[in-house]
Structure 1
Amino acid sequence: MSELHDRPDSPCIGVCSTLFDDVCKGCGRTAYEVSNWVFFTEQEKAAVWERIIREGTGMRFCDSSSTTSQT
């Protein structure tokens, strides 16, 4: 089985900001990538996954323990 099939079908986490931002704050994909995801080939999807993992800027990659408040 390929690595791509070990991942969710889409990087989306349901926190979309592509109406307001060039890059979604939730998943890290561009508006173009979000709107065309279903038309991408497996290779194109893999390339996007590799880039967003490498950049790690989307909320998808935030460490939840660092975002919780400490009292």
Structure 2
Amino acid sequence: MNAMDENHTSLGDDILAALKRACDEGDLLVAEHLLRALETMADRAGGDERMERAYLQVVRSLVDTKHRR
């Protein structure tokens, strides 16, 4: 395995990372679109553990936003 293979992430993992960043930055409109992209990928694959992590990230962000007000 070469160094490039070791650093390679899947598209789904990249989208999940972008979703986390969008949530952290409070950009919920972008987060919604990224969540839809993950849902589309999960539907094609017959389910995906990233979806659970994505939903948890969105909920955490919403709770954090509510507590900051």
Whether the TM-score (by the shorter chain) exceeds 0.5 is no
TM-score by structure 2 length? 0.37
TM-score by structure 1 length? 0.36
Which has the larger share of helix? 2
Question: Which has the higher relative contact order, 1 or 2, with Cα contacts under 8 A spaced 6 or more apart?
Answer: 2
